[in-house]
Amino acid sequence: MSRTELAPPDAATATAIETVFRIESARLIAGLTRLVRDVGQAEELAQDALVAALERWPVIGVPDNPGAWLMATAKHRAIDLLRRRERLERKQQELGRDLETQGAPDLEAAIDDLIGDDLLRLVFIASHPVLSTEARVALTLRLLGGLTTDEIARAFLVSEPTIAQRIVRAKRTLSAAQIPFELPPREELTARLASVLEVIYLIFNEGYSATAGDDLIRPGLCEDALRLGRILAELMPEEAEVHGLVALMEIQASRFKARLGPSGEPVLLLDQDRSRWDRLLIRRGLAALERAERLADPLGPYALQAAIAACHARAYSPDQTDWVRIAALYDALARATPSPVVELNRAVAVGMAFGAAAGLQVADELAAGGALNGYYLLPAVRADLLKKLGRTDEAAAEFANAASLTRNARERELLLRRAAECQT
């Protein structure tokens, strides 16, 4: 049957192909990047293999080892690409000749021993500090999360051309900077790892509490971040902060079912039905936290945040929460990574542990400093503390101010409702 005569895939086959590619794409791109030394070209080769699957699998059926089929197909196309290129560097010429002499069945085996290293290299390239934060997030989701530009655009509520441009610019930047396809030197590893973890957590946070739009949460983004975090934990098992981040995301994700009410409205942490928290995710998170605690003393920022989340996860009701320990953990977090947002969270913990007046004092100092001007959670926290102190008029005004600052419709509705409750 000729190329033009190939039957289009039926719905079941198309779904199978899409699922396989989503799972295998990062592995595929990682292996191809090692061959052609260009992330953009590797992604194009992977897409070519996907097109080939869409053409062939409806005829021959889904292979027993679909990932190997995709890899072999892509690597044959890589050989053709290397053969056609002019003025190849000597290393590329040798690589092309070596690949050409290998039999098709051995192509997959040739990189089996290195695939873990290849994935890890791809993680560090996609999150390279030479790129802007926005570009790192988009490229990571594209290459490692397997998301389309349309899916990334919808997740972050920006246009598809904007995401496409970010990804194209990111690839050009990496190429122009001649970023090698290798792990950073040991002396640079910690700094580079921090960039990787930041990107993964940014993706998770956008899914956990959307900055804009009509939905409070976007579970798909959280799932992608969790998958990336779990992969990284397998690739770097001795890095405490990797396990700390995974622990934090697992425990946070356990609350999904309890975070929304019947109409999609936000449910505050202390009002959530904890029987709906996912105990499996909590157990996974606590196990990851234990690994982080074994590897590091003192704990790093992600492990400290995971320890805070664990205090909530271990409490079967709000009144069982160890707020004194949470406040102490926020003290440690503030020393490890001083920031106004950490201090705002510390204000909440102090208010719960030692009374609303003590918490309000911390929040007022933040407000006076001006670092969080325009950040809706500052007036929201002050409003809650003021309400507990019986200063309801001031609380109503602060809730209304917070509502005017948030870009998320669900949070705005909640804040306006709480403002109204202060005046009844």
Question: Is pLDDT of 363 > 60?
Answer: yes
13 domain residue, yes or no: yes
Task: Identify whether residues 105 and 135 lie together within a single domain.
Answer: no
Query: Which of 209, 236, 263 finishes a domain?
Result: 236
pLDDT score at 276: 95
Of residues 43 and 406, more confidently modeled: 406
Of residues 379 and 41, more confidently modeled: 379
Task: Identify whether residues 135 and 208 lie together within a single domain.
Answer: yes
Q: Give the residue-averaged pLDDT of 348-371.
A: 96
88 domain residue, yes or no: yes
Task: Identify whether residues 39 and 124 lie together within a single domain.
Answer: no
Task: Identify whether residues 25 and 78 lie together within a single domain.
Answer: yes
Task: Identify whether residues 361 and 270 lie together within a single domain.
Answer: no
Question: Is pLDDT of 102 > 50?
Answer: no
132 domain residue, yes or no: yes
Task: Tally the domains of the chain.
Answer: 4
Task: Identify whether residues 147 and 108 lie together within a single domain.
Answer: no
Query: Which of 50, 81, 113 finishes a domain?
Result: 113
**Whole-number Å distance between alpha carbons of 411 and 414:** 5
pLDDT range class, residue 114, cuts 50, 70, 90? very low
147 domain residue, yes or no: yes
Of residues 231 and 355, more confidently modeled: 355
Task: Identify whether residues 292 and 230 lie together within a single domain.
Answer: no
Q: What is the mean pLDDT of the chain?
A: 84
Of residues 121 and 233, more confidently modeled: 233
241 domain residue, yes or no: no
Query: Which of 236, 262, 291 finishes a domain?
Result: 236
137: which 2 tokens?
């997030």
Task: Identify whether residues 1 and 109 lie together within a single domain.
Answer: yes
pLDDT range class, residue 391, cuts 50, 70, 90? very high
Task: Identify whether residues 83 and 150 lie together within a single domain.
Answer: no
Task: Identify whether residues 137 and 75 lie together within a single domain.
Answer: no
pLDDT score at 8: 58
Question: Is pLDDT of 410 > 90?
Answer: no
List, in order, residues 6 or more apart from 15 with CB less than 8 Å away: none
Question: Is pLDDT of 378 > 70?
Answer: yes
- Which CATH number fits the domain that encloses residue 344? 1.25.40.10
61 domain residue, yes or no: yes
Q: Which domain holds residue 199?
A: 115-236
Question: Is pLDDT of 221 > 50?
Answer: yes
Task: Identify whether residues 289 and 329 lie together within a single domain.
Answer: no
pLDDT score at 405: 93
Q: Give the residue-averaged pLDDT of 235-262.
A: 93
242 domain residue, yes or no: no
Of residues 51 and 109, more confidently modeled: 51
pLDDT score at 110: 39
Question: Is pLDDT of 91 > 80?
Answer: no
Task: Identify whether residues 267 and 292 lie together within a single domain.
Answer: yes
170 domain residue, yes or no: yes
